[in-house]
Structure 1
Amino acid sequence: MKQTIMILALCTMAASVRADYKETMDSNGLTQNLQADYGFVDDNAGSDQSAKLQQAIDQVAEQGGGRLILPKGVYSFSGINLKSGVHLLIEKDTVIKPWWPDGSKIAVFAMDGSSGTEAGYVENVSIRGLGGKFIVDYSERGARKGEGSRVVNCRGVKNFQISDVYVKDSFTTYCAFVFTPVKDKATRGKGVYGPTDGLVKNLKNTDSSAGYGLVQMHGGDTIHFENLEAYGGGVTFRLETGSGGEHGGIHHITAKNIYCENGMSAMVMGPHSAQNGVVKVDGVTAKSCMYAAMMGPGYVETKYQGNDKFKPGIFGKGSTVENVHAIFGTDAAISLKEIVYVPKKYHKDLRIDKNDPKQKRIRGASIGAVRDATEGSWNPIIKNVTSEGFEYNKGVMKTSKKDRVNWKQVLKGLPIADELEQALKKVPKKKK
């Protein structure tokens, strides 16, 4: 009875929040329990139960879709592919410890039906916490060379919801929730260019790598994000659309209530060479971060230069970020490229970030509220920026490539310069 009430509440809330996702979960439809119906065992994540979960999803999909409930417990699985019509409901405080073989890169869940040969995409699917957030925990894994994890990888999916997830990271590679473009022509011919018509809300993570974060968008259309929060690591809402190549780009994206603490930034907008549509974000707050919001320029990556398909990227006219609030602190993750903007008064507070094995970032004082480095390549509308505790850069900082100088020049004579030099010598060089 309790589960039925929670399911009814989920249906009602999803229908009332946004029109991007149209609720298709039938509270009176097929409902299966992964423990009672498929032999799932709460074994404190002692065994890989991926095959059981995938079998359950496949069977529910074959019956026309329905709800799969995962009761509270501690489980291990990964590599799970959602199928059309299936809604996975995971009870509040359930812990998923991903099945993660040494040396591998994994996704716990995938929403992707694109195949390259047929017009394939999954639709009318969701992954939701039931009664509150469930937990995906790899907090003891640590950053390891050649490894990476995504909690949900979205690609060929239409009409979807992801909600109420708490990710406990340990400075590993990749963002937790990744949205990428579809590349196969057949699926694109059906109007699905990436994740389309989605609602993503109530997500939280801790201790992500400073170079990654909670959400990363390379591609997507008509998706609303709400109540995203990140602590201790990278970027909460990262709209860097470079990796999609000629297929990349995001359109009709809205977001509300984005928060970051002791990280790089609550949000980043960097178009690279993607010709993006309009993005509108309302409510951005950062505490003890490098910036609350960062806007980067459009440009053509070196590997695409000389290719007529590519030109400097943009975000569409009317793209807006408003109601931004930055709170000064001294535990921000600061990129080496941004050290030039750290006021001299705070140079003494700069220190090595022991959780960044690549040593691309250090820790120190917040730099400013908003950094606008677009230099006219596109024109963001930035409204109602406030801050507290800042002596410098209280509003929007306009910066240029011409400002950049080597971090060694900025830090010359400071103890951290020698520490950082020694730390960088220990970082393995990439093979060419």
Structure 2
Amino acid sequence: MLRLSNYVTIVLFIFICLPTTASPEKLFYKAPTHFGVTKYFVNDYSADNDPKTDDTRLFQRAIDDIWKQGGGKLVVEKGKYSLLNVVLKSNVHIEIEAGTVIFPYLDPTPNNRFLKKAYAIFELTSKYAEPLKSVSIRGLGGDFIVDISTAINKKNRVFFIKNVQNFLISNVEILDDYSKFSAFVLNGEYVGQRILGPKNGEIRNARVLGADYGYGLVQAQLGESILFQNLYGLGGATLRLESHTKNLRDLTKFTPLNNIRANNIKCEKGNAAFMVSPHFVKNGQFNVDNIKAKGCGWAVRTSNGFTTKEEKSLGLYAGSFSAKSTIRNVSAQFGEYYAQIKPKHYRYIPCVLVANIDRKAISKATGKSFVGPSIGVVLLDTDYQSFMGSDEILRSDGFYPEQQLVMGDKTSKDLCKSIPFQNNSNT
């Protein structure tokens, strides 16, 4: 007869030895177990809490001091600060107390080059072969705020993320007013003959309010093993996987997007919650789960790869994403008037809704989108992979059946004229 301890041993053996299924929320960032030194921005560096003061040099000094002492933590007490192009250093972790407001510091004097040049508030990168390693910026006790809504130069990125490994950014709300870039931009740093992008990182609990149609919260152009979780965008595309810059035209110099995970991605009164556009790059795999849209053009928008005339002359061809990529659990709620619409997608709008497009309400920044009704739940305009089936659409409140899963160019060129939309009951 077996003793109880034998049963426990058997159960533990089975539990440990059974294979496990990888979760979409697999963590890629490894947090430090202890901090070598802890500094306080106000108490230790006498920051004055006046947003009219340029706090950049003081903030950079605090980061450098902690880095020189082997790494540690910088606590930013609740207040208002102005920063520009702060560069993180390895093993430095920044904790910003909830309610803190950070502004971009733009000196209005005529000789300030940042009045016209693109800039960032936080830069996570190394200009050397050795990447920036083990860094984080997170709200302490809730969200901190980055207010770029009144910036006199709209060419701004809040977080410019390039040659960095093992990073975390969490608990941040961004107040925007149609900036020219996404708030988070993941790209690459030229180092010798290579372009080095971010690897092993997480962006969690982030929001943008007032984003432009052509941008949004996150644009990932390069990145390996990155997790995006709990993202919200009011305007724009909340999570955009779009591998396109002139720097990426030499395909031998970089590792493309791969092993991208995302969960709980939301859009409201914008273009899309999740957008995919490979341009000329053959990218790896993404797996996105739990996508929600309310009054947006789409919940999910995917595009074929394509090249411009100039790119074709360089020997570039249409790109793609891995056939192993998946999009799961999509929900959308129809909105009549506030979606950001791309003109080439007009043909997908039911005739009964065309009158709801306000062609005078042009996006402030790009001038290429209009305000109008939600177009559909999912646009699959791809030849290389379908990514999902109609069974992954959990809810489509207020949409006509034809608007749920639109197959792009596989659908008629003018959906309004070719499909006789009736006033049938919405789903």
Confirm whether residue 364 of structure 1 aligns to residue 367 of structure 2. no
Which of 370, 392, 395 is the aligned partner of 2:404? 395
Indicate conservation of the 8 Å contact 1:337/1:404, yes or no.
no
Distance (whole Å) between structure 1 residues aligned to residue 381 and residue 194 of structure 2: 36
Distance (whole Å) between structure 1 residues aligned to residue 367 and residue 401 of structure 2: 26
* Structure 1 partner of 2:10: none
Question: Which sits farther off after the overlay, 386-395 or 63-72?
Answer: 386-395
Where in structure 2 are there 5+ consecutive unaligned residues? 1-24, 108-114, 418-427
* Structure 2 partner of 1:266: 273
* Structure 2 partner of 1:424: none
Which of 117, 133, 139 is the aligned partner of 1:129? 139
Distance (whole Å) between structure 2 residues aligned to residue 339 and residue 131 of structure 1: 44
Call closer, same or farther: CA 1:224–1:359 in 2, change over 3 Å.
same
Confirm whether residue 216 of structure 1 aligns to residue 222 of structure 2. no
* Structure 2 partner of 1:104: 117
Call closer, same or farther: CA 1:219–1:119 in 2, change over 3 Å.
same
* Structure 1 partner of 2:88: 82
User: Which amino acid is 1:393 matched to?
Assistant: E
Call closer, same or farther: CA 1:34–1:75 in 2, change over 3 Å.
same
Distance (whole Å) between structure 2 residues aligned to residue 319 and residue 301 of structure 1: 25
Which of 325, 328, 346 is the aligned partner of 1:322? 328
Confirm whether residue 311 of structure 1 aligns to residue 317 of structure 2. yes
Which of 154, 169, 172 is the aligned partner of 1:162? 169
* Structure 2 partner of 1:92: 98
Question: Which sits farther off after the overlay, 52-61 or 102-111?
Answer: 102-111
The aligned runs of 1:109-188 (5 Å cut-off) are 109-114=122-127, 118-141=128-151, 147-185=154-192
Distance (whole Å) between structure 2 residues aligned to residue 236 and residue 302 of structure 1: 29
Indicate conservation of the 8 Å contact 2:184/2:217, yes or no.
yes
Call closer, same or farther: CA 1:357–1:126 in 2, change over 3 Å.
closer
Tell me the secondary structure at the aligned position of residue 387 of structure 1.
strand
Distance (whole Å) between structure 1 residues aligned to residue 73 and residue 54 of structure 2: 22
Among the aligned pairs, what percent are the same residue? 33
Shift of 1:303: 2.4
Distance (whole Å) between structure 1 residues aligned to residue 263 and residue 297 of structure 2: 20
Indicate conservation of the 8 Å contact 1:40/1:49, yes or no.
yes
Indicate conservation of the 8 Å contact 2:213/2:366, yes or no.
no
Where in structure 1 are there 5+ consecutive unaligned residues? 1-16, 410-432
* Structure 2 partner of 1:72: 78
User: Which amino acid is 1:103 matched to?
Assistant: K
Indicate conservation of the 8 Å contact 1:251/1:277, yes or no.
yes
Distance (whole Å) between structure 2 residues aligned to residue 334 and residue 379 of structure 1: 23
Shift of 1:301: 3.3
Largest Rg, 1 or 2: 2
Distance (whole Å) between structure 2 residues aligned to residue 158 and residue 25 of structure 1: 17
Deviations 1:264-287 (A, max 9, x none): 000101111111111000000000
* Structure 1 partner of 2:296: 289
User: Which amino acid is 2:45 matched to?
Assistant: Y
**Normalised TM-score (structure 1):** 0.83
Call closer, same or farther: CA 1:176–1:50 in 2, change over 3 Å.
same
Call closer, same or farther: CA 1:259–1:230 in 2, change over 3 Å.
same
Q: How many positions carry a matched residue from both structures? A: 377
Tell me the secondary structure at the aligned position of residue 106 of structure 2.
coil
The aligned runs of 1:350-429 (5 Å cut-off) are 350-351=357-358, 352-374=360-382, 376-382=383-389, 384-385=392-393, 386-400=395-409
Tell me the secondary structure at the aligned position of residue 189 of structure 2.
coil
Call closer, same or farther: CA 1:348–1:163 in 2, change over 3 Å.
same
* Structure 1 partner of 2:110: none
Which of 217, 240, 243 is the aligned partner of 1:241? 243
User: Which amino acid is 2:239 matched to?
Assistant: F
Indicate conservation of the 8 Å contact 1:100/1:106, yes or no.
no
Indicate conservation of the 8 Å contact 2:214/2:366, yes or no.
no
Shift of 1:341: 1.5
Indicate conservation of the 8 Å contact 2:321/2:384, yes or no.
no
Distance (whole Å) between structure 1 residues aligned to residue 52 and residue 244 of structure 2: 39
Deviations 1:284-338 (A, max 9, x none): 0000011100110012333221334x33211112100000001000211101111
Indicate conservation of the 8 Å contact 2:219/2:239, yes or no.
yes
Which of 245, 257, 263 is the aligned partner of 1:256? 263
